[in-house]
């Protein structure tokens, strides 16, 4: 089989240029034709001819026009924004970027937990006031961390927690699959896990089952000194219930990289809560993002060359 043409869509991902992605692909696939169109018209022509396309999204019309497209490599882990039926009708395989976020987002989770444990946010406020005053802190060792979602990110979080001497509980759709945590429960047992949780990490996809999963009842089940980190999707948490719980001191704090709504309006009450830390969906940002994406696609291009269709991270 001749070297396939690879079309890289002109879309910025996490603020990084697609040019960097194309360069990473060329490093791994020196004999392949890796092309980024300069204009929308050129991109349309490229989509109509390239057997492999990679980027964030394609409209239904673009998919239907891409008669030669055998593989679309989505550069996000989630593919809910794609019309998968259109890709399937077009005979196009779709892969995602699952696993790319493991190292960077798990570091965000650990940083958020440790910042809370050692009271850094309070320290930073006192530092801004030039105020030398001792304050209480905690230890992570010996606590219980519950991770909801044991995909690539959840597993990476658990791996990085291991040296800290904590007990871990995993919550997943299919508990029979097990996982790296000390204990694995299904979603029907989540309240049992929450009642024993010191630190709650949300790393699950947003689905019908997980939408509003952390509601007033769940927040009441958590101990009042519990801390929550959400790097899943904003809709996994009922925002109004969270605001009420934080205002009533029903949990001790939260680190939110995702919110509902998103972006979070600048007059939203979450901004004014000292016990809440907010980042603008930033946990996934890393200069190594495209390097990891390129590794996945390079593996799949090699399989494509050999007529294989068991692509890594294949969705459909």
Express each pLDDT in 237-271 by its tens digit: 999 999 999 999 999 999 999 999 999 999 999 99
- Per the model's pLDDT, the better-predicted residue between 37 and 303 turns out to be 303
Asked if residue 265 and residue 116 are part of one domain, the reply reads yes
Q: Which of 122, 160, 196, 281 is catalytic?
A: 281
- pLDDT per position as a tens digit, 183-234: 999 999 999 999 999 999 999 999 999 999 999 999 999 999 999 999 999 9
List 262, 285, 305, 312, catalytic entry: 262
Task: Give the CATH number, domain containing residue 301.
Answer: 3.40.50.720
**Which pLDDT tens digit goes with each residue over 70-97?**
999 999 888 988 999 999 999 999 999 9
Residue 108 in domain:
yes
247 in the same domain as 152: yes
Boundaries of domain holding 135: 102-278
The answer to whether residue 127 is domain-embedded is: yes
Are residues 128 and 65 located together in one domain of the fold? no
172 in active site: no
- DSSP-assigned letters across all residues of the chain: -PPPEEEEPS--BTTB-HHHHHHHHHHH-TTSEEE--SSHHHHHHHHHH-SEEEES---HHHHHH-TT--EEEESSS--TTS-HHHHHHTT-EEE--TTTTHHHHHHHHHHHHHHHHTTHHHHHHHHHTT----------TT-EEEEE--SHHHHHHHHHHGGGT-EEEEE-S-GGG--SSSEEE-GGGHHHHHTT-SEEEE-----TTTTT-B-HHHHHHS-TT-EEEE-S-GGGB-HHHHHHHHHTTSSSEEEESS-SSSSPPTT-GGGG-TTEEE-SS-TT--TTHHHHHHHHHHHHHHHHHTT----TTB--
Same domain, 199 and 231: yes
198 and 232, same domain (yes or no): yes
Q: Is the pLDDT of residue 2 over 70?
A: no
Q: Is 49 in the same domain as 133?
A: no
User: Is 39's pLDDT higher than 90?
Assistant: no
Specify whether 281 is catalytic: yes
Q: What is the pLDDT of residue 168?
A: 98
| Active site annotation includes 303 | no
Asked if residue 90 and residue 113 are part of one domain, the reply reads: no
Q: Kindly report the average pLDDT of the chain as a whole number.
A: 95
Whether this model's pTM surpasses 0.85: yes
Into how many domains does the chain fold?
2
């Amino acid at each position: 089989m001749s070297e396939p043409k690879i079309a890289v869509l002109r879309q910025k991902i996490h603020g990084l240029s697609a040019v960097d992605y194309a360069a990473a692909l060329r490093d791994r696939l020196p004999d392949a034709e890796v092309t980024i169109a300069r204009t929308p018209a050129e991109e349309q022509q490229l989509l109509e001819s390239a057997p492999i396309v990679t980027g964030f999204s394609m409209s239904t019309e673009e998919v239907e026009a891409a008669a030669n497209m055998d593989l679309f490599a989505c550069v996000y882990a989630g593919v809910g924004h794609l019309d998968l039926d259109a890709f399937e009708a077009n005979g196009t395989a779709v892969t995602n970027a699952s696993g790319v976020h493991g190292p960077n987002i798990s570091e965000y989770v650990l940083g958020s937990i440790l910042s809370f444990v050692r009271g850094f946010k309070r320290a930073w406020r006192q530092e801004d006031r030039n105020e030398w005053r001792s304050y209480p802190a905690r230890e992570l060792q010996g606590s219980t961390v519950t991770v909801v979602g044991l995909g690539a990110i959840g597993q990476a979080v658990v791996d990085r927690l291991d040296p800290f001497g904590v007990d871990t509980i995993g919550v997943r759709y299919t508990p029979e699959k097990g996982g790296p945590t000390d204990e694995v429960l299904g979603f029907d047992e989540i309240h049992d896990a929450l009642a024993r949780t010191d630190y709650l990490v949300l790393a699950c996809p947003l689905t019908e089952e997980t939408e509003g999963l952390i509601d007033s009842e769940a927040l009441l089940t958590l101990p009042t000194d519990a801390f929550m980190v959400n790097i899943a999707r904003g809709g996994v948490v009922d925002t109004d219930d969270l605001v009420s719980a934080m205002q009533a001191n029903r949990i001790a704090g939260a680190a939110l990289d995702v919110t509902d709504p998103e972006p979070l309006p600048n007059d939203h009450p979450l901004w004014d809560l000292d016990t809440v830390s907010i980042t603008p969906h930033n946990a996934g940002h890393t200069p190594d993002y495209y390097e990891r994406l390129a590794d996945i696609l390079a593996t799949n291009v090699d399989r494509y060359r050999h007529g294989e269709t068991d692509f890594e991270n294949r969705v459909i």
